[in-house]
Amino acid sequence: MRIAHRSYAKTCCRYLLLMLAVFVLLACNTRENQLTEREAMISARESELVTLFAEMTEQKKLLEKNDSKDLPDTMKNSTEKTCACDSNLDVAPVKEPPEIVETKTKTLLGGIENAFLDPPGMEFSARIDTGAQTSSLNALDIIEFERDGKPFVKFSLIHPLTGDKLELTRRLRRYVRIKGRGGRESHRRPVVRIRVMLADIDEQINFTLEDRSRFKHQVLIGRNLLQDLAIVDVSKKNVATPKIENSDTASEIK
């Protein structure tokens, strides 16, 4: 009995396996059929697109031919209209370009130059310093006083050849306050106007008065003379020729 029961169970298992295999095959066939149908639909759409593209290409060629036939007449009409309109227009005269005015070239100066000061009416060796805003002059024995209610200042320069003192009196214009180095107390310095002739430069400029005995040059020329008038090459010396003219300002107090 046990042997018969076992054989029956094995037979049932075999039938079940066969049935599962049949179902799997049927499912695979259905999937393959669906894929085949989709591929057929895609092929049909591709053929339709190819046909539409060919038709559009032919229509484009026909339109280009028609446009090329109509273009000459259109251009001819537009040209005639343009000519008719242009004949009624007044032609504006052509304006000549404005004359170019040459600007004065700047004077080339070296780091050290001989500057003519008036007064006292002589040349002094001057240091040309683009870093200084205001020019400076060596002044000794500075005395401030009033004359006719106006401020004046008397001071002395050192003659560049003899070493003697030259006494000058000039109108006191204003004061400037110079800060000392290293946080030192600032000093108030008087300012006077003196004529300077340097190469082709001839200007009345402000000078601050100070004791420059510790410096080699009595005169320092700053940007209040150099700006817009000169170019400085500190590697050179005495490249400018002073332009000295007769003047009566040396005897005048200004």
Any domain includes 57: yes
Q: Distance (Å, rounded) from C-alpha 212 to C-alpha 15?
A: 127
pLDDT digits (tens, 9 = 90+) for 137-148: 999 999 999 999
CA angle 71, 75, 79 (to 5 degrees): 175
Question: What does the DSSP assignment read for 149-206?
Answer: TEEEEEEEEE-TTT--EEEEEEE--EEEEEPPGGGPPPEEEEEEEEEEEETTEEEEEE
Would 99 be classed as within a structural domain? no
CA dist., res. 191 & res. 137, Å (int): 10
Rounded Cα distance between 227 and 200, Å, is 14
Confidence of residue 103 (pLDDT cuts 50, 70, 90): very low
* Same-domain pairing of 164 and 65: no
**Residue 143: what residue type?**
I
Contacts of 122 (CB under 8 A, 6+ apart): 116, 159, 160
Question: Is residue 102 assigned to a domain?
Answer: no
Pick from 46-55, 196-205, 231-240: least confident: 46-55
* pLDDT-based confidence at residue 209 (cuts at 50, 70, 90): very high
Which pLDDT value is given to residue 254?
Answer: 61
Provide the pLDDT for residue 167.
Answer: 95
In three-state secondary structure terms, 60 is helix
| Position 129 in a domain | yes
Residues 149-167: pLDDT tens digits?
Answer: 999 999 999 999 999 999 9
Residues 184 and 143 grouped into a single domain: yes
User: Are residues 242 and 172 part of one domain?
Assistant: yes
Within this chain, do residues 71 and 113 fall inside the same structural domain, yes or no? no
pLDDT band at residue 76, thresholds of 50, 70 and 90? Answer: very low
- What integer pLDDT is reported at residue 176 of this predicted model? 92
| Most distant pair of Cα atoms in the chain: their distance | 158
Q: What's the structural domain count of the chain?
A: 2
Enclosing domain of residue 135 = 107-251
What is the Cα gyration radius of the chain?
Answer: 53
Q: 7 in a domain, yes or no? A: yes
Say if strands 107-118 and 122-128 run parallel, antiparallel, or are unpaired: antiparallel
Q: What is the pLDDT of residues 12-44, one digit of tens each?
A: 777 778 777 777 777 666 776 777 777 778 877
Candidates 184, 187, 141, 144; CA nearest to 165 is 141
Among candidate residues 49, 83, 117, the one where a domain is terminated: 83
CATH number at residue 121: 2.40.70.10
Total-model pTM? 0.55
pLDDT of residue 179: 72
Q: Retrieve residue 157's tokens.
A: 């320069």
User: What would the mean pLDDT of 94-121 be, rounded to a whole number?
Assistant: 75
* Range in 53-67, 97-111, 225-239 the model is least confident about: 97-111
Spatial contact of 96 and 227, defined as CB atoms under 8 Å apart: no
Is 164 in the same domain as 216? yes
- How would residue 101 be classed by pLDDT, with cut points 50, 70 and 90? very low
Q: Report if residue 119 sits inside a domain.
A: yes
Residue 101 within any structural domain of the chain: no
